[in-house]
Amino acid sequence: MLNKEAKIYIAGHRGLVGSAIVKNLESKGYSNLIYRTHKELDLTDSTKVAEFFEAEKPSYVILAAAKVGGIVANNTYRADFIYENLMIQNNVIHQSYLNGVKKLLFLGSTCIYPKNCPQPMKEDYLLTDTLEYTNEPYAIAKIAGIKMCESYNLQYGTNFISVMPTNLYGPNDNFDLEKSHVLPALIRKMHLGKALENNDWESIITDLNSLPIEGVRGDSSKEDILTILDKYGITMKDDNTVDLEIWGSGNPMREFLWSEDMADACVFLMEQRDFTDCYSNDYKEIRNTHINIGTGIDISIKDLSLLIKQKVNFKGNLYFNTDKPDGTLKKLTDPSKLHGLGWKHTITLETGVQKVYSWYLGKN
């Protein structure tokens, strides 16, 4: 067990992942948590990171900081994604070694697995085939992070653990329709669609003032608001019903994990497990020591859309635009290794969708 007074540095404490981990640690009585905003500490700056570690001397480190984005951003800013993520990882992991950190947890993503990976995805499938092209630079950076932790453990005897969460959702998610992932995007679109069909302009104005879409705010003209909503697939028809466009056929299967469940898994591993628990001694070569964090349960985008429609109470029509790409048809983790280490998720998708929609309403 970790000492409740132990100094724990959480890198990336404001994001979906980091904020959930901070909340979990605080709820369990950890009282010596340290963090820095990007403005206070640029983790790509090796000199600044070295100075920070030398001054603070954290006993434990959780590395949740990363440059992240959707398909378009990953494919457009390929150099930025590989450079910034490699630099963040290199600096934090290396300084953790130099400064005698007792345990580090490195967070990656299941995009590390091959594009045509067998399903469900086991840890042993890492580096067995070609990666998905659009996020290859990001995936390679995360693979390098896994191998860096693994290599430092083997050479220097450090205790660095790598975890690869599936698709996450929850409080502090990204609801920006230009950049958000499918679940938060669908929640926001259906929320706006419901307001539109109910002629509830107060809710629309509040939402857009909180998070403008391409510069369109709540105080923009109704014409501009209707135009931007239509651009993002929320269309008011002549009979005052609302059509909501969803890209693709709705057939792809996706797995979703409540972010606070993920945080609980991370804290469990920090408290209860070590690197030596992450691999079998049956093999001469030690590899694939990372741990999937997921539910092992998936749902089609169509069924996810219907679930969100019910929870939001949107009455309009869902239109699946098959002219748009579906992406990978199935992407499911095998969490057997994590289950074997003693942890399993508790929040169902149905409960989680209701919770995150309630959080979104409260935020606005």
Domains of the chain in start order, with CATH, are: 8-172+255-297+330-347 (3.40.50.720), 182-251+301-321 (no CATH)
Is there a catalytic annotation at residue 138? yes
Q: What is the pLDDT of residue 219?
A: 94
The label of the residue with tokens 């490699």 reads 86
Dig out the tokens for 183 from the structure.
């679940």
Put simply, whether the predicted model's pTM sits higher than 0.85 gets the answer yes
Q: How far apart are CA 348 and CA 257, in angstroms?
A: 8
CA atoms in the 13 A half-sphere facing the CB of 341: 28
In tens, the pLDDT along 70-85 reads 777 777 889 999 999 9
At 195-216, the pLDDT tens digits run 999 999 999 999 999 999 999 9
For the residues 338-359, what does the mean pLDDT come to? 97
Looking from the CA of 230 toward its CB, the CA atoms found within 13 Å total 9
Instruction: For residue 4, report the phi and psi dihedrals to the nearest 5 degrees.
Output: -60, -25
Strand partners, 34: 9
Residue 77, pLDDT score: 87
Q: Is 282 helix (H, G, I), strand (E, B) or coil?
A: coil
Catalytic residue among 60, 97, 113, 138: 138
- 8 Å CB contact between 161 and 62: no
Contact call for residues 274 and 159 (beta carbons, < 8 A): yes
Residues 151-182 have pLDDT tens digits of 999 999 999 999 999 999 999 898 998 878 89
